[in-house]
Chains A and B, each alone.
Chain A
Amino acid sequence: MAEKVSLTELQLIIRDSLYLALPDIYWVIAEISELTENNAGHCYLELIEKHQDEKNVRARVKAIIWSNRYRFLKAFFENITGESLREGLKILVKAKVEYHELYGLSLIISDIDPAFTVGEMAMKRQLIIKKLEQDGVFSMNKELTFPAVPQRIAVISSKSAAGYSDFVNHLKGNSFGYVFYTSLIETSLQGTETELSVITALDKIALNSHLFDLVVIIRGGGSQSDLSWFDSYNIAYHVTQFPLPVITGIGHDKDVSVTDMVANRSLKTPTAVADFLIDTFADAENHIIEMSSLITVASLIIIEKNKNRIEASSIKLFPLARIMMSGIKDKLSSEIIEIISIGKELIIRAGLIPANLESRLSSAMKSLTSGKDLVLKRNRERLIADTINCLNSKKVMLKSLENSSQHLNPENILRRGFSITSINGKILKNFEEIKNDDMIDTQLYRGTLKSKVVKIKGR
């Protein structure tokens, strides 16, 4: 029978044997399956290695990082990887095997290689990207037309997140006075529940997609926000399939997640997302203002053209009327003379006609000539009145045109800081109309500039 030993003695034998048999250190590749920090600042981990199926565990060991090392390693790891040490991460650690008679076997970790984790995460990300590309969905959300006025916004975030209030305050406090509508879908954006939570939120928005113009996914930045939760095939896939454009502002200054990559647009912070939306509004408004000023200018040109035409016509019309009237007058006068001479001849021929007949004839003749005079006068008045009416109605029409173009008031546009540039009195709209050393005039709200062209950049 073998020698009898106490349990303590056995444990000590094991400890000593291990101590003698094993080298001082190993670099160990493992995945963190559990991690807790105690009050003293020590870090207790459970490390595992999985089978290739990524489900079953084939090896497991306890590990410890003592607080004096942990304080340093934690910050070092986060600084390099942008991730905190947490479950699910693959790590490469420098460890010594220790055996304690009370606590058994554990690895005492003294160093960690963050570059390994960065590489692992990049590889995992590459696999997801490849799968999305193979599925033919990678750029589907990017291909959606971005709305000119992204006004009704579904926000995937958390009320308590600093990023959320930053976003809403920035958006709604915009200096232009633009109106935005936001609807928060309360979502957890950190930890193992991230994937399910984001997908549930997206599904909820999809049910009401007609109410929204776009979706934003935002959360505050900082080192505690691990980006790799968004390196998820399922979240990314849902984003690619989403019927509305998705913008991310997940708050990471070093790297982008797969979700960022497949989103319609990805910005670093929630504030940047708000700025982008405000800028989109401003672009839309500027486009309208620009068009309204172009309409004003083009309308004024047409009005001016027509004014000139009417003036030219009226200048021609007056002498024409005079010529016409004098023609009519001449014709009437000659008719009167003819009538008088005919009358005289008749009187002479009819020597036998009694005196009263003669006087009747002369009075009839007088009334006839005065009738003709009246017609002449009336014609002349009517002609003048018609001409004046015609001119007046054209004037009224011009006035109303000028009034309606006042809605577009070019001065207002100039006051906003726009200016009208012209060359030789011609409004300049195209860089091809000018060449170097040309003198151009710029009309500002107040005053005009005369400048020389030194450089032309085409578009």
Chain B
Amino acid sequence: MAKKEFSFNSAVVEIENILHNIESGDLDIDKLSVEVKRASELIKECQKKLRLTEEEINSIFKDLA
């Protein structure tokens, strides 16, 4: 598998860390924009994982049956 597998769990952990950093309140405003951008990317990836079909998995499963 050439593509690095997206891990929902580690994405959630990363989002939780970002949230924790932002909620602590003393985050530098320059860092805030970086963190928010990263969180929004991760959230998008997570949503994609839940709803978008990966044909790769489908074809592997077809071969197994």
- Using a CB–CB distance below 8 Å, which chain A residues touch chain B? 147-149, 151-152, 176-179, 181-184, 208, 211, 281, 284-285, 287-288, 291-292, 294-295, 298-299, 301-303, 306, 397, 400-401, 404-405, 407-408
A284-B8 in contact (CB<8A):
yes
B33-A404 in contact (CB<8A):
yes
Contact of A295 among B36, B49, B57 (CB under 8 A): B36
Contact of A178 among B15, B22, B50 (CB under 8 A): B50
Smallest Cβ-Cβ distance to B49: which chain A residue? A149
Q: Give the chain A neighbours of B61 by CB distance below 8 A.
A: 152, 181-183, 211
Between-chain CB contacts (< 8 Å), 25 pairs? A149-B8, A149-B50, A152-B57, A178-B50, A178-B51, A179-B50, A179-B51, A179-B52, A179-B53, A181-B57, A181-B61, A284-B8, A284-B12, A284-B50, A285-B47, A288-B43, A291-B43, A292-B39, A292-B43, A294-B23, A295-B22, A295-B36, A298-B19, A299-B22, A404-B33
A287-B12 in contact (CB<8A):
yes
Q: B25-58: which have CB < 8 Å to A? A: 25, 27, 29-30, 32-33, 36-37, 39-40, 43-44, 46-47, 49-54, 57-58
- Using a CB–CB distance below 8 Å, which chain B residues touch chain A? 8-9, 12, 15-16, 18-19, 22-23, 25, 27, 29-30, 32-33, 36-37, 39-40, 43-44, 46-47, 49-54, 57-58, 60-61, 64-65
A172 CB to closest chain B CB (Å) equals 11
Residue among B30, B40, B65 facing the most chain A CB atoms (10 A cut-off): B40
B64-A183 in contact (CB<8A):
yes
Q: Give the chain A neighbours of B37 by CB distance below 8 A.
A: 404
B8 CB to closest chain A CB (Å) equals 5
- Chain A interface secondary structure, helix, strand, loop or mixed? helix
A408-B50 in contact (CB<8A):
no
Provide the bound-state CA to CA distance between A284 and B11, in Å.
11
Q: Give the chain A neighbours of B8 by CB distance below 8 A.
A: 148-149, 284
Provide the bound-state CA to CA distance between A400 and B37, in Å.
10
Provide the bound-state CA to CA distance between A176 and B50, in Å.
9
B9-A295 in contact (CB<8A):
no
Q: Give the chain B neighbours of A284 by CB distance below 8 A.
A: 8, 12, 46, 50
B28 CB to closest chain A CB (Å) equals 9
Q: Give the chain B neighbours of A152 by CB distance below 8 A.
A: 57, 61
B29-A401 in contact (CB<8A):
yes
Provide the bound-state CA to CA distance between A182 and B64, in Å.
11
Q: Give the chain A neighbours of B43 by CB distance below 8 A.
A: 288, 291-292, 407-408
Provide the bound-state CA to CA distance between A247 and B49, in Å.
22
Q: Give the chain B neighbours of A285 by CB distance below 8 A.
A: 46-47, 50
Q: Give the chain A neighbours of B60 by CB distance below 8 A.
A: 211
Q: Give the chain B neighbours of A400 by CB distance below 8 A.
A: 33
Q: Give the chain B neighbours of A292 by CB distance below 8 A.
A: 15, 39-40, 43
Smallest Cβ-Cβ distance to A182: which chain B residue? B61
Provide the bound-state CA to CA distance between A281 and B9, in Å.
12
Contact of A302 among B29, B40, B53 (CB under 8 A): B29
A281-B16 in contact (CB<8A):
no
B30 CB to closest chain A CB (Å) equals 8
A153 CB to closest chain B CB (Å) equals 9
A149-B50, A287-B12, A291-B19 known; A408 and B65 CB under 8 Å? no
Q: Give the chain B neighbours of A291 by CB distance below 8 A.
A: 15-16, 19, 39, 43
B12-A401 in contact (CB<8A):
no
Q: Give the chain A neighbours of B12 by CB distance below 8 A.
A: 148, 284, 287-288
Smallest Cβ-Cβ distance to A178: which chain B residue? B50
A301-B25 in contact (CB<8A):
yes
Q: Give the chain B neighbours of A299 by CB distance below 8 A.
A: 22, 32, 36
Contact of B22 among A183, A281, A298, A306 (CB under 8 A): A298
Provide the bound-state CA to CA distance between A178 and B48, in Å.
10
Q: Give the chain B neighbours of A397 by CB distance below 8 A.
A: 29-30, 33
Closest 5 pairs (CB-CB, A-B): A407-B40, A298-B22, A183-B61, A149-B8, A298-B23
A178-B51, A179-B50, A288-B12 known; A405 and B36 CB under 8 Å? yes
